[in-house]
Amino acid sequence: MLFTRSKIVIACTLATGLALSACSKSNNDEEKQAPLTASAPATGEASTLSERNQQQRLIQTLQEGLKKANITAKISSVKATEVPNLFWVSFEGMSSVYATADGKYIIQGDVIRLGDKTLHNVSESLQSEVTKKELAKLKTEDLIVYKAKGKTQHVIYVFTDASCPYCHKLHEHLDEITSKGIEVRYIAWPRGDQFVPAMESVWCSANRQEAFNQAISGVQLPPASCKNPVRDMYKLGLNIGVNGTPAIYNTDGVYLGGYMEPSELIGRLNK
């Protein structure tokens, strides 16, 4: 079913709760391949071509390994990271992960750089680039938009579900948030199959704001059927790593957090 997070067969259970298999064995041909290496951005046409070839080889190796493990996951992009021999791999319909340069291991979670007075989350900047591009593809007419009162200082995207208690709690602060110059854009993200009809009823309503107000307060909306983006929005959330609601992002694709008091949200936006 579409709203099932089991996109891949569980072979190794990771701490994040998503299941990924990185335990496939390499055949002899794969073992004979020269290892790939991640280096600083190359200059010159030859170097650029070499990098492209390395990335294509990595994609091929990963796809073969996933296929052997009976995992259907299409790779959309591969990017070298600041960590030697570690690549950032984006998929269609699931969260991005790290992969070793030889394509033998997939790693979920954050990579933290030490050496400065504060810790630097390498994963955050990589994921925000992907998220920013995905959010930029959204059309405002497909969202539920609450305009800022007065001059718009910030715009946030909120993945929400009418059945979510913390979404309800955040929604109660909407007037206060918009009064601070923050435009709020709701994206549908039903947390399970049973919540899809309610969100589709909201998105099929002539007045989505009013319909969402009713749905989030517990009113059962009449079933509705129309061409709507709810399922596509759910897929978008999966692509950028959403695993619960509310999930709040700024326009740069940075994940700000889940439920926050308005003062905390404003502090994060101004940080």
Q: Active site includes 193? A: no
Report which residue type is found at 79.
K
- 52, 57, 142, 161: which is the annotated catalytic residue? 161
- d(Cα 55, Cα 75) in Å, to the nearest integer? 11
Q: In what order do the strands lie in the sheet with 182-188?
A: 144-146, 182-188, 154-160, 247-250, 255-257
Give the CA diameter of the chain: 65
Query: Would you tell me how many other CB atoms lie within 10 Å of the CB of residue 185?
Result: 19
Give SS3 for 257: strand
Closest CA to 206 of 218, 222, 219: 222
- 167, 185, 204, 208: which is the annotated catalytic residue? 167
- d(Cα 99, Cα 79) in Å, to the nearest integer? 10
Phi/psi zone of residue 253: left (φ > 0), alpha (ψ -120 to 50 degrees), beta? left
Q: Active site includes 164? A: yes
* Four-CA torsion 209, 215, 221, 224, nearest 10 degrees: 60
- Tokens for 70? 């009976």
- d(Cα 2, Cα 232) in Å, to the nearest integer? 10
- Tokens for 83? 């960590």
Q: Active site includes 191? A: yes
- d(Cα 40, Cα 26) in Å, to the nearest integer? 28
Q: Where do we find the tokens 């497909």?
A: 142
- 185, 191, 204, 208: which is the annotated catalytic residue? 191
Beta strands 97-100 and 86-91: pairing type?
A: antiparallel
- 23, 52, 110, 164: which is the annotated catalytic residue? 164
Q: Active site includes 52? A: no
Residues known to be catalytic: 161, 164, 167, 191
